Amino acid sequence: MAKPVKKAEYLLSAPDLDHCPAGDKPEICFAGRSNVGKSSLINALTRRKRLAHTSNSPGKTRNLNYYVIDDSWYLVDLPGYGYAKISKKEQARWGREMKRYLLERKTLELVVVIVDIRHKPSVLDEEFMFWLAENGIPFCIILNKTDKISKTRVLQQKAAVSALLENMNIEVPVFTVSAQTPETIDDFFAFAMDFMQDAIKP
């Protein structure tokens, strides 16, 4: 089991790849549609209640928000995709910058695609997963907000997502978690740390 996070600090918000910090540490990024609970998951993962700002207004995150974890790696919160209340021009800019970051950021080790477990993955989710796989970008999936549904429904939703991935010929880990119960994140965190162990400097 991975050791719990001891230190977590907000570093900066980068509007694009050119403003990201120096590539001196490996990084994991959180991606997903707006309002899937990325900020709450960051707070639960780091055991800090107010590290990432949560909001009831989807689309608040409009930059790549960087957090330094244990002085050894970066956790990056990407802007939520699919939020309709911004202009088409702004949506297009986000899309370009996010693709550039995902394709060109050499220190990016893992993309974590977060989906609200209460709903089946959207077309945008499916397209994003396929695009990551097509470009050989390592990723895993978190089905979040398990506290909102029954345990039986959790198993059904996980099975449905696993079947979807199989149909897409994609083989990646799928985790079920709730930010309200931080211990449910332990399996994901252990996987992420094992995945990154060679990249993290002692």
Residue spans per domain, the chain: 8-196
Sheet containing strand 27-32, strands side by side: 8-14, 64-69, 73-77, 27-32, 108-116, 139-144, 174-176
pLDDT score recorded for residue 198: 85
The whole-angstrom separation of Cα 22 and Cα 16 is 13
27-32 vs 64-69, strand pairing mode: unpaired
Per-residue model confidence as pLDDT tens digits over 85-113: 566 776 677 778 889 999 999 999 999 99
107: its two tokens: 């220190």
* Cβ atoms 54, 6 nearer than 8 A: no
Class of domain 8-196: alpha beta
Average confidence (pLDDT) over 115-125: 94
SS3 176: strand
Per-residue model confidence as pLDDT tens digits over 38-70: 989 999 999 888 898 754 444 445 789 999 999
